[in-house]
């Protein structure tokens, strides 16, 4: 996995300027980021989303708020309250089941080697946080890794855009996906 970690660092540095630009509006609701490195039979994936996306998902199961009409000030206060809330380690651990967010072609026969989840601040203003999920896989049939399907659009109703960036066997690929295009072919 040392070689894959080195490639992950290359991915991070090659997209650093794009990342800085995205970080400026990284906490845009309805936008997720997906980074992937494929080298031979190893795959590393990082998936980022605003923490409020998980909180909104929880709120969707509650009854609709009787205060549907808010002025902008009240909406901003509500947004700040969401950001101060935290997501439990247990709710992040459920994403070890990566098929909620993405899936490989079945023929690639990929096995999850490691999973890590964490929260990180994206702004010095307020308490805005993102969830970062990191995965490493070993694939028994890497020649079958010709695409990836994004399942997150089905999981999160408020997800509108996904920024996809990858280094696949030393070739860079970037795409912006919307819910009507859930597959990246490489």
Average pLDDT, integer, range 21-50: 81
Q: Which of 38, 43, 35 is nearest to 16 (CA)?
A: 35
pTM as predicted: 0.74
What mean pLDDT is reported for the chain?
77
Average pLDDT, integer, range 54-71: 50
pLDDT score for 81: 45
Task: Identify the burial level of 152 via C-beta atoms within 10 angstroms of its C-beta, where 0-12 means exposed, 13-18 middle and 19 or more buried.
Answer: buried
What's the pLDDT tens digit per position in 110-157?
A: 999 999 999 887 765 656 788 999 999 999 999 999 999 999 999 998
Q: Which of 7, 53, 42, 16 is nearest to 158 (CA)?
A: 53
């Amino acid at each position: 996995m040392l070689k894959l970690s080195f490639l992950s660092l290359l991915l991070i540095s090659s997209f650093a300027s794009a990342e800085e630009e995205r970080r400026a509006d990284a906490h845009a609701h309805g936008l997720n980021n997906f980074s992937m490195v494929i080298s031979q039979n190893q795959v590393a994936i990082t998936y980022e989303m605003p923490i409020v996306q998980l909180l909104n998902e929880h709120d969707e199961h509650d009854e609709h708020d009787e205060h549907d009409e808010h002025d902008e000030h009240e909406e901003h206060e509500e947004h700040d309250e969401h950001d101060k809330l935290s997501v439990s380690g247990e709710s992040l651990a459920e994403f070890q089941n990566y098929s909620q967010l993405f899936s490989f072609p079945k023929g690639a026969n990929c096995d999850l080697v490691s999973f890590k989840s964490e929260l990180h601040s994206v702004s010095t203003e307020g308490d805005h946080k993102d969830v970062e999920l990191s995965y490493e896989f070993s694939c028994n049939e890497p020649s079958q890794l010709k695409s990836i399907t994004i399942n997150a659009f089905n999981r999160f109703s408020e997800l509108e855009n996904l920024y996809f960036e990858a280094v696949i066997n030393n070739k860079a690929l970037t795409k912006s996906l919307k819910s009507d295009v859930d597959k990246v072919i490489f």
